[in-house]
Amino acid sequence: MAESFSSVPELVLDARADLGEGPAWEPRSGLLYWVDIRTGHLHAFNPADGSDRRVEVGESLGCAAPRRTGGLVLGLRSGLAVLDSMDAKVRVLANPEPQLPGNRFNDGKCDPAGRFPGRQHGQCRGGSDRFALLAGPDGSIKG
């Protein structure tokens, strides 16, 4: 028999986020990662117990994506970064557009080949919407 689901929404976390986006499920840990863009908070929500762990990354955070090797790839205002665990420090790999400090990463996920297609978003008039690609663990940017 098929499992039935309620069509009535249920609040599972009252996070009071300023601009919450970018959910990314990590099946090994059973955590749902998501970002609060303007506050620079990375969240790890555990639906099994309802807990939500929050890490301050120190700047606008546009997206987060789980890595096969563990940890996360982050799209920040200052560029692409990695976070090896929720207790580690953010390590910036590359800034594809340092000449445009008003830009920040807005969207990005890891593809099956382990690449990180991400989009930068212009924050001011005349800003760019670019597509950048994190090609490998060395942090090289192509695109």
pLDDT tops 50 at residue 55: yes
Domain assignment present for residue 15? The answer is no
**Does a structural domain hold residue 4?**
no
| 1 in any annotated domain | no
Q: What is the pLDDT of residue 125?
A: 47
For residue 58, pLDDT beyond 70: yes
Q: Look at residue 65 and tell me if it is in a domain.
A: yes
Instruction: Please state the three-class secondary structure of the chain as a single string.
Output: CCCCCCCCCCCCCCCCCCCEEEEEEECCCCEEEEEECCCCEEEEEECCCCEEEEEECCCCEEEEEECCCCCEEEEECCEEEEECCCCCCCEEEECCCCCCCCEEEEEECCCCCCCEEEEEEECCCCCCCEEEEECCCCCCEEC
**Tens of pLDDT, residues 77-130:** 888 888 988 888 898 887 777 777 677 777 788 877 777 776 666 654 455 555
pLDDT in the model for residue 107: 77
Any domain includes 8 = no
pLDDT in tens, 129-143: 555 555 455 556 665
Residue 133: give its domain's CATH number: 2.120.10.30
Q: What is the pLDDT of residue 131?
A: 53
Number of structural domains (the chain) is: 1
Q: Give residue 74's domain range.
A: 20-142
Residue 14 has pLDDT above 70, yes or no: yes
Q: Is 12 within a domain? A: no
- For residue 129, is it within any domain? yes
Q: Rounded to whole angstroms, how far apart are CA atoms 134 and 95?
A: 11
Specify if 5 maps to a domain: no
